[in-house]
Amino acid sequence: MRLARAVDGALLAIAVFIFLFIVLFPFYWIVLSSFTPKYELFTIPPRYWFSTFTLENYQVLANSIPLTRYFVNSLLFAAGSSLVSVAAAFLASYALARIQFRGANLIFIVFVMSIALPQIGGLVPLFELFKNTGLINTYHGLVILMSSLVLPFTIWILVPFLRQIPYEIEEAAIMDGARLPHLFWFITLPIMRPALVTMFIINFIIAWNELIYPLVFATSGSNKTLSVGLVELAVQPTAGGGRPWDLLSAMSIVMIVPILIVVLLFQKLIVSGLTRGAIK
Partner 1 sequence: MQRTRRIAILICLLLLPSVALRLFTAVYPFFNTIWLSFHDWNPAFPPQQFVGLKNFQALTRDIAVTGSISFTVLFVTISTLLEIVLGMAIALILHRAFFGRGVVRAINLIPWAIPMVVAAIGFRWMYDTQYGVINDLLYRTIEVKVPWLVDFWGARAAVIATNVWKSTPFVGLVLLAALQGVPQDLYEAGRVDGTNRVSAFFYITLPLIMPQIVTIGLFMVVWQLAAFDLVFAMTGGGPGFATQVLAYRIYQVAFTALNFGYASAISMVLFIVVGIASIIGLLLFRKVEVSL
Q: Which of residues 106-125 bind partner 1 (CB under 8 A)?
A: 107, 111, 114-125
**Least distance to partner 1 from the beta carbon of 98, Å?**
9
Of 24, 68, 29, the C-alpha closest to 46 is 29
Rounded to the nearest 10°, the torsion over CA 155, 160, 161, 162 is 90
Can you tell me which of 105, 220, 238, 267 binds partner 1, judged by CB under 8 A?
267
CA 67 to CA 57: how far, in whole Å? 13
Q: Which of residues 141-200 bind partner 1 (CB under 8 A)?
A: 144-145, 147-149, 151-152, 155, 180
Comparing CA positions, the residue from 7, 13, 60, 55 lying closest to residue 35 is 55
- Binding residue for partner 1, selected from 67, 112, 126, 173, defined by CB under 8 A: 126
Map the footprint of partner 1 across residues 229-248, applying CB under 8 A: 230-231, 234-235, 243, 245, 248
Minimum distance of partner 1 from residue 75's CB (angstroms): 14
What's the closest the beta carbon of residue 16 comes to partner 1, in angstroms?
A: 6
Binding span for partner 1 by CB under 8 A among 41-49, 55-63, 162-170, 190-198: 41-49
Query: Please, what is the minimum distance in Å from the beta carbon of residue 22 to partner 1?
Result: 7
Residue 259 near partner 1 by CB under 8 A: yes
Question: Which ranges constitute the DSSP H helices of 99-138?
Answer: 104-113, 123-132
Looking at the Cβ atoms of 69 and 98, the one nearer to partner 1 is 98
Alpha-carbon distance values, 248 to 43, 61, 202, 220, 262 (Å): 18, 9, 25, 21, 22
Determine which residue in the list 7, 72, 95, 189 makes contact with partner 1, applying CB under 8 A: 95
Instruction: Encode burial over 204-237: b for 16+ CB neighbours within 10 A, e otherwise.
Output: bbbbbebeebbbbbbeeeebbbbbbbbeebeeee
